[in-house]
Amino acid sequence: MDPVELKREFGRDLVFWGGGVDTQNVLGTATPEQIREHIKHNIEALAPGGGFVFAAVHDIQANVPPENIMAMWETWKTRGVYGSSGTRGVQQ
């Protein structure tokens, strides 16, 4: 599902809990840099205006290298913080 379209259509009516990272198709197979880009895209799509909780929808699978988990964690820590006004503080 396209996170931009989901946010546009449903973002005023619900909170997205999950969708920060695709644990089934990306986290175990992509490079750390691809994971960073994937997560940045999802945060930028779902977080503006509030209503987004960064979480994985599924458990992290056994095939995920530790460096991919760290890429996910570090990207979330640097990109996934809301400002005090409740608006998304996208960091470039």
Domain coordinates in residue numbering, the chain = 3-79
Please name every residue paired with 88 in a beta bridge, in sequence order, or none if there are none.
Answer: 82
Encoded tokens for 9: 């259509």
For the whole model, what pTM was predicted? 0.82
Higher model confidence: residue 25 or residue 31?
Answer: 31
32 pLDDT exceeds 50? yes
Taking residues 29-52, what's their average pLDDT?
Answer: 95
Quick one: pLDDT at residue 83?
Answer: 59
5 pLDDT exceeds 70? yes
Query: Rounded to an integer, what distance in angstroms lies between the CA atom of residue 85 and that of residue 49?
Result: 10
Helices (H), strands (E): how many in the chain? 3, 2
Q: Assess contact for 48 and 88: CB atoms under 8 A.
A: yes
Q: Assess contact for 20 and 42: CB atoms under 8 A.
A: yes
Higher model confidence: residue 36 or residue 24?
Answer: 36
